[in-house]
């Protein structure tokens, strides 16, 4: 493979403090139940993807705004302890983002997000990061921050020939301005259906190829335990399977896939190998509890790279 010199991934996205409750079942409306356990951890789709990418030992920079609370303090320390560049993380008065999460025994989850300071990010902040961080391999964004902020970063990236990846989650209608500067769009099955004019899920290659052609972008659709499917430059759909494992917590698995796919592109892997790497890392993560805490270690990701 042809490696990029000093790969660097820039993530323009969200941070959250995850408050995770593990329970045998989720209460019905008006019902109170006892839960099994509770943990607090670091999350946010942007932060998760940056953390996953950093496990590979490459340069990662995070662009975000944190509140002036204890959650913001601890999030900043977490990034710094992992060696993630925080030069373009700003602080603002008010609360940081939080995400209450409920996880059932089969690993399925339900999540609410409260964006807090994530909504205070600016176009100037994201654009300055792209212009000031030197050589960049890939820029990644999501929908947990204002879309105009991500679009400004992507536009600056494309002007420099840097590929962009949009993870359209949590889903909301994507502005034409953001879609136009997204080289890759990486939805899960429900997000894909929300993007489709007729609400069709990605159940066939034809459906995926047709929507990619209509939106003039490349898709990498995550399909849970079935792996992922992506479109080639000529519009062909290629499917990549995922290893079979017993999942105990799927929280953050999609972010693990996005972050490691970005690494694959930054390292100069083929598109198919990059998707496979994403599937391997995501599948590995669901065998452990937590979000960032479940991601494969630096040693483990090197083992996964050897499986390509």
Q: Is the pLDDT of residue 5 over 80?
A: no
Provide the pLDDT for residue 215. Answer: 95
Q: What pTM does this model have?
A: 0.91
- pLDDT tens-digit map of 249-294: 888 999 999 999 999 999 999 999 999 999 999 999 999 988 899 9
- pLDDT tens-digit map of 189-227: 999 999 999 999 999 999 999 999 999 999 999 998 899
Distance CA(272)–CA(265), nearest Å, equals: 10
Provide the pLDDT for residue 44. Answer: 93
Look up the domain containing 254 and give its range.
46-94+118-305
Task: List Cα–Cα distances, 182 to 21, 101, 176, 274, in angstroms.
Answer: 35, 29, 10, 18
Asked whether residue 272 is assigned to any structural domain, the reply reads: yes
Provide the pLDDT for residue 106. Answer: 87
> What is the mean predicted confidence (pLDDT) over 2-31?
88
Taking a C-beta distance cutoff of 8 angstroms, is the pair 48, 292 a contact? yes
Provide the pLDDT for residue 109. Answer: 86
Cis ω before 273 (30° cut-off from 0): no
Provide the pLDDT for residue 108. Answer: 84
Total number of domains in the chain: 1
Identify which has the larger pLDDT, 224 or 55. 55
Q: Return the percentage of the chain with pLDDT > 70, whole number.
A: 98
Task: List Cα–Cα distances, 165 to 10, 139, 157, 162, 205, in angstroms.
Answer: 10, 6, 11, 10, 21
Q: DSSP assignment of the chain, as one string?
A: --PPSS-EEEEE---EEEEEEE-SSPPPTT-----SEEEEEEE-HHHHHHHHHHTTTSEEEEEEEEESSHHHHHHHHHHHHHT-EEEEEEEESSPPPEEEEEE-TTS-EEE--B-GGGGG--HHHHHHHHHHS-S-SEEEE-SSS-HHHHHHHHHHHHHTT--EEE---S--PPPHHHHHT-SEE---HHHHHHHSTT---S-SHHHHHHHHHHHTSEEEEE-GGG-EEEE-TTS-EEEE-------S--TTHHHHHHHHHHHHHHTT--HHHHHHHHHHHHHHHTTSSSSGGGSPPHHHHHHHHTT-
Asked whether residue 254 is assigned to any structural domain, the reply reads: yes
Asked whether residue 56 is assigned to any structural domain, the reply reads: yes
Give catalytic residue positions: 255
Asked whether residue 101 is assigned to any structural domain, the reply reads: no
Distance CA(145)–CA(143), nearest Å, equals: 5
Asked whether residue 2 is assigned to any structural domain, the reply reads: no
Q: Is the pLDDT of residue 1 over 60?
A: no
pLDDT band, residue 6 (cuts 50/70/90)? confident
Asked whether residue 234 is assigned to any structural domain, the reply reads: yes
> What is the mean predicted confidence (pLDDT) over 81-108?
94
Q: Is the pLDDT of residue 187 over 80?
A: yes
- pLDDT tens-digit map of 99-155: 999 999 988 889 898 999 999 999 999 999 999 999 999 999 999 999 999 999 999
The whole-chain average pLDDT of the chain stands at 95
Provide the pLDDT for residue 3. Answer: 45
Provide the pLDDT for residue 207. Answer: 97
Which CATH number covers residue 234?
A: 3.40.1190.20
Asked whether residue 273 is assigned to any structural domain, the reply reads: yes
What are 38's strand-pairing partners? 21
Q: Is the pLDDT of residue 9 over 50?
A: yes
Residue 130, token pair as written in the block: 């792209």
Distance of CA 199 to the CA centre of its chain: 23
Provide the pLDDT for residue 2. Answer: 44
Asked whether residue 41 is assigned to any structural domain, the reply reads: no
Distance CA(276)–CA(240), nearest Å, equals: 6
């Amino acid at each position: 493979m042809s490696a990029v010199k000093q790969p660097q991934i820039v993530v323009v996205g969200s941070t959250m403090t995850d408050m995770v409750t593990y329970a045998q079942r989720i209460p019905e409306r008006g019902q109170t139940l006892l839960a099994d356990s509770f943990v607090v951890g670091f999350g946010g789709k942007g932060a998760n993807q940056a953390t996953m990418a950093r496990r590979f030992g490459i340069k990662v920079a995070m662009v975000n705004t944190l509140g002036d609370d204890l959650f913001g303090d601890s999030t900043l320390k977490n990034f710094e302890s992992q060696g993630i560049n925080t030069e373009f993380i700003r602080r603002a008065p008010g609360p940081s983002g939080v995400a209450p999460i409920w996880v059932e025994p089969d690993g399925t989850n339900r999540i609410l997000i409260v964006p807090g300071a994530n909504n205070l990010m600016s176009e100037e902040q994201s654009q300055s990061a792209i212009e000031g961080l030197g050589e960049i391999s890939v820029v990644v964004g999501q929908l947990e921050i204002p879309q105009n902020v991500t679009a400004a970063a992507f536009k600056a990236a494309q002007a420099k020939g840097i590929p962009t990846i949009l993870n359209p989650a949590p889903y909301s209608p994507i502005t034409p301005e953001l879609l136009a500067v997204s080289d890759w769009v990486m939805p899960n099955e429900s997000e894909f259906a929300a993007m489709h004019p007729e609400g069709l899920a990605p159940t066939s290659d034809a459906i995926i190829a047709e929507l990619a052609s209509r939106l003039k972008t490349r898709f990498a659709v995550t399909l849970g335990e079935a792996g992922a499917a992506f479109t080639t430059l000529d519009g062909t759909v290629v499917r990549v399977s995922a290893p079979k494992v017993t999942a105990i917590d799927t929280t953050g698995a999609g972010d693990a896939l996005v972050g490691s796919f970005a690494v694959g592109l930054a390292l100069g892997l083929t598109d198919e190998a990059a998707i496979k790497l994403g599937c391997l890392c995501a599948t590995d993560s669901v065998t452990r509890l937590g979000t960032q805490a479940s991601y494969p270690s630096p040693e483990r990701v090197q083992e996964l790279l050897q499986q390509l």
